[in-house]
Chains A and B, each alone.
Chain A
Amino acid sequence: MEKLLYIALFAPLVGSLFAAMYGNTPKKLITGLFTSTMLGLSMIASLILLFWTMTGNVVHVRMLDWIVIGGVDVPFGFIVDQVSAVMMVVVTIVSTMVHIHSIGYMDHDRSFNRFFSYLSAFVFSMMILVMSDNFLGLFIGWEGVGLCSWLLIGFWYHKGDKPLVKDIHNSPFSTLSPHSSISPAFAANEAFITNRVADLGMLVGIFIIYWNLGTFQYDEVFANIGSLSTTTIVAIAIFLFIGAMGKSAQFPFNQWLANAMEGPTPVSALIHAATMVTAGVYLVIRANEIFTIVPEVGMFIAGLGAFVAIFAASQALVATNMKKIIAFSTLSQLGYMFVAAGLGAYWVALFHLAMHAFFKSVLFLGAGNVMHAMNDEINIKKMGGLFKHMPKTGTIMIIASIALAGIFPLAGFFSKDLILEVAFGTHSYIIWGVLWLTAGLTAFYSFRLIMYVFFGKEKYHEYGYHPHETYGFVIAAMAPLAILSIVAGWTKGSYVHMITDVLPPLNIHLDSSTAWTLIVITTAIVIAGIALAVFKYRKNNSYFGEQMKDRFCYKLLANQYYMPHFFENVVLKPYLAMSRFSWKEIDLKIVDTIVDAIAKSIYSTGSEGRVIQTRNLSTALRWMAAGLLVLVVLSILLVSYK
């Protein structure tokens, strides 16, 4: 089993290094094939490990000593228990399919090899994050994921900056414009810096743990966490959660996620489903022993999650940027996961994470196909009627959207409904209400997207596009994910049986009539949302009338609640002004002046002193005699002072 663990962990690294060797050369198909094979290998190993852990086994290895100084003993250790096995399987399945899809999607890109190198490195970082048996190893994976996301979001770094215009249909801050962010480089930096800020919180949390418990190992930390004072535990929980907020793009660190849509679409699929945003949820699940002790922090997490759920879902209502709609839905679903985790239903959060990974990745891959067919057009209002040309992509995306909306018996139904039950069962009625409403909004905007893209009038003719279905192997890579988004929910029984070995069981008491009522009213609002989306489009061919578009609320949503403007004006501009001030006033006028003055004084002693070099030996001898005299006088003075 140890060998399988190493295969699962290091196969992506081997693939990444192999592709990196061809980083600067023109496209070589072998890099795509090799990395995909390695990922497939890792997936198979992960699946075997999952079945192994299902029977209650845990694989725990200590690969190497890493830091052994005095009392500090941090190994490179890896653990595969039920939680990490589920994560590994989700990560590798989604990543493998994304790799295969990318072979088609990045077909014409001149940095094909580089792309696959980054993609596999991304998966490797995530595997380290998931499999590490201590907080420091987790942090390495955490940072590796951040680095790879930076590389991949800014993959098309050569694209220039878009101007910050006021026009709502062209501003990079608006979800109605074709631009997801100012530029890929800006989006990459934004993602990386936002994560750095949050990572500091996480690092502080880890330091507090070490300061108080003297160890980084999960098992030792969780065994002794109860001996600490409540204040310390609250501090640890809050700081760790700040790290999770950054990676999982919770408010107020949420801006980077939607802007990360500047990257290639398979990257978005990977970030949203497998390798990045789930890391925050995973951290909270992994550290559940800490969060269980402090339910106040849990309540905060749940409240924030519910807020983010509706906050993101509402922005998706009016957006016409296809990828941003899907990004907002990820944000919203992450909110759901944090609600579950915050309310103590950790395994429900993990379950939703897994279900979400399947249908969200396939939604993004489908969006990639559509964009590919439409010459990278991203505005859903310029599409329409694509189902006729892309029936397979259309079918898969509809399946994924139904799963996302949560209709029985698709995957989303099982997990999302469970979260609503948890919210109701723990008497968090406000959270339940928010999530219930969000479920309706989710159904509406998902099908708004489907209707705009695949049905109705064919608007793309006006823009001169000739859509075509993508390669067969790309569809074949999406099919397993689509099937999983249908059937994955059916594994709930065995999943619950397995996972409650390590995660606390549900502690809610709902009688069956209440549970059924909840299911019925949730399904009702979901179906209402879908029906509204479908019939309104059939009737009007659009959703929001012209008079609606002048209203404040429409502009508010289209401008992402003016959060980008807020950051631009309150954070970025003052920061720029401060940097300019430090540069012009402090650096140039104080620091540089001092350094220059030292250099200049030395230089001028040289240039002033060179006049004594008269080329005349006689003068030089006189100077020498004068120097001798000075030395003699000096030594006499020194002697007489003693």
Chain B
Amino acid sequence: MILNDYLILSAILFCIGLIGVIRRKNLLMLFFASEIMLNAVNIGLAAISKFHGDLSGQMFAFFIIAVAASEVAIGLGLLILTYKRKNSLSLDNLQSMGG
């Protein structure tokens, strides 16, 4: 396995996440999609770190995992609140800030 394979995997995952972010209407699914994108980046960082023999990439990946975990905790809390208020998590029903 060479570095490129990992990076291609990372790019594919990122694109899947991106498409999810764009296409999905459910906020929960948007969260999942954004987690996929974060982990795509993590794969890239870990791979480059391994092939360059530099640990800072992996450290960054850990940081991202930690930040993502806390973000998910807050995000899910907000989602629950939103659901209690609006009874729906569809983006089409959450249009409040118009230009």
Task: Kindly list chain A residues whose C-beta atoms are within 8 Å of the C-beta of B18.
Answer: 625
Inter-chain contact A612/B99, CB cutoff 8 Å: yes
Out of B21, B95, B98, which one reaches A625, CB within 8 Å?
B21
User: Is residue A613 within 8 Å, beta carbon to beta carbon, of the partner chain?
Assistant: yes
User: Is residue A69 within 8 Å, beta carbon to beta carbon, of the partner chain?
Assistant: no
User: Is residue B2 within 8 Å, beta carbon to beta carbon, of the partner chain?
Assistant: no
**In the complex, how many angstroms separate the beta carbon of A607 from the nearest chain B beta carbon?**
10
Task: Kindly list chain B residues whose C-beta atoms are within 8 Å of the C-beta of A617.
Answer: 91, 94
Nearest-neighbor residue (CB-CB) of A619 within chain B: B91
Task: Kindly list chain A residues whose C-beta atoms are within 8 Å of the C-beta of B91.
Answer: 616-618
Task: Kindly list chain B residues whose C-beta atoms are within 8 Å of the C-beta of A615.
Answer: 95-99
C-alpha spacing A32/B22, complex, angstroms: 85
Q: Which size class do B's interface residues fall under?
A: 10 to 19
C-alpha spacing A273/B24, complex, angstroms: 94
Task: Kindly list chain A residues whose C-beta atoms are within 8 Å of the C-beta of B92.
Answer: 616, 618
Inter-chain contact B94/A621, CB cutoff 8 Å: no
Task: Kindly list chain B residues whose C-beta atoms are within 8 Å of the C-beta of A618.
Answer: 22, 24-25, 91-92
C-alpha spacing A617/B95, complex, angstroms: 8
C-alpha spacing A611/B98, complex, angstroms: 9
A618-B22, A621-B22, A625-B22 known; A613+B99 contact, CB < 8 A: yes
Task: Kindly list chain B residues whose C-beta atoms are within 8 Å of the C-beta of A513.
Answer: none
Task: Kindly list chain A residues whose C-beta atoms are within 8 Å of the C-beta of B97.
Answer: 613, 615
**Per-residue 0/1 for B4-27: is the Cβ within 8 Å of any A Cβ (1 yes, 0 no)?**
000000000000001001101100
Question: Number of A residues whose C-beta is below 8 Å from B?
Answer: 12
B46-83 residues at the A interface, CB under 8 angstroms: none
Inter-chain contact B22/A622, CB cutoff 8 Å: yes
Main secondary structure of the interface of A (DSSP, over half): helix
User: Is residue A610 within 8 Å, beta carbon to beta carbon, of the partner chain?
Assistant: yes
C-alpha spacing A616/B97, complex, angstroms: 8
Task: Kindly list chain A residues whose C-beta atoms are within 8 Å of the C-beta of B99.
Answer: 610-615
A586-642 residues at the B interface, CB under 8 angstroms: 610-618, 621-622, 625
C-alpha spacing A403/B18, complex, angstroms: 105
Nearest-neighbor residue (CB-CB) of B94 within chain A: A617
**In the complex, how many angstroms separate the beta carbon of A543 from the nearest chain B beta carbon?**
86
C-alpha spacing A203/B22, complex, angstroms: 73
C-alpha spacing A423/B96, complex, angstroms: 97
Task: Kindly list chain B residues whose C-beta atoms are within 8 Å of the C-beta of A616.
Answer: 91-92, 95
Nearest-neighbor residue (CB-CB) of B23 within chain A: A618
Inter-chain contact A613/B22, CB cutoff 8 Å: no
Nearest-neighbor residue (CB-CB) of A611 within chain B: B99
**In the complex, how many angstroms separate the beta carbon of A433 from the nearest chain B beta carbon?**
89
Task: Kindly list chain A residues whose C-beta atoms are within 8 Å of the C-beta of B96.
Answer: 615
C-alpha spacing A625/B21, complex, angstroms: 9
Task: Kindly list chain A residues whose C-beta atoms are within 8 Å of the C-beta of B94.
Answer: 617
C-alpha spacing A616/B98, complex, angstroms: 8
Nearest-neighbor residue (CB-CB) of B90 within chain A: A618
Task: Kindly list chain A residues whose C-beta atoms are within 8 Å of the C-beta of B24.
Answer: 618
Nearest-neighbor residue (CB-CB) of B24 within chain A: A618
Task: Kindly list chain B residues whose C-beta atoms are within 8 Å of the C-beta of A610.
Answer: 99
Nearest-neighbor residue (CB-CB) of B33 within chain A: A621
Task: Kindly list chain B residues whose C-beta atoms are within 8 Å of the C-beta of A625.
Answer: 18, 21-22
C-alpha spacing A621/B91, complex, angstroms: 11
C-alpha spacing A615/B25, complex, angstroms: 14
C-alpha spacing A625/B91, complex, angstroms: 17
Task: Kindly list chain B residues whose C-beta atoms are within 8 Å of the C-beta of A611.
Answer: 99
C-alpha spacing A445/B22, complex, angstroms: 100
Inter-chain contact A614/B98, CB cutoff 8 Å: yes
**In the complex, how many angstroms separate the beta carbon of A163 from the nearest chain B beta carbon?**
59
**In the complex, how many angstroms separate the beta carbon of A443 from the nearest chain B beta carbon?**
88
C-alpha spacing A615/B97, complex, angstroms: 5
**In the complex, how many angstroms separate the beta carbon of A172 from the nearest chain B beta carbon?**
63
Nearest-neighbor residue (CB-CB) of B18 within chain A: A625
What are 15 A-B interface contacts by the 8 Å CB criterion?
A: A610-B99, A613-B99, A614-B95, A614-B99, A615-B95, A615-B97, A615-B99, A616-B95, A617-B94, A618-B22, A618-B25, A618-B91, A618-B92, A621-B30, A622-B22
Ranked nearest first, the 4 interchain pairs of A and B with the lowest CB-CB distance are: A613-B99, A615-B95, A615-B98, A610-B99
**Supplied contacts A615-B96, A615-B98, A621-B30, 18 more A-B pairs, CB within 8 Å:** A610-B99, A611-B99, A612-B99, A613-B97, A613-B99, A614-B95, A614-B99, A615-B95, A615-B97, A617-B91, A618-B22, A618-B24, A618-B25, A618-B92, A621-B21, A621-B22, A622-B22, A625-B21
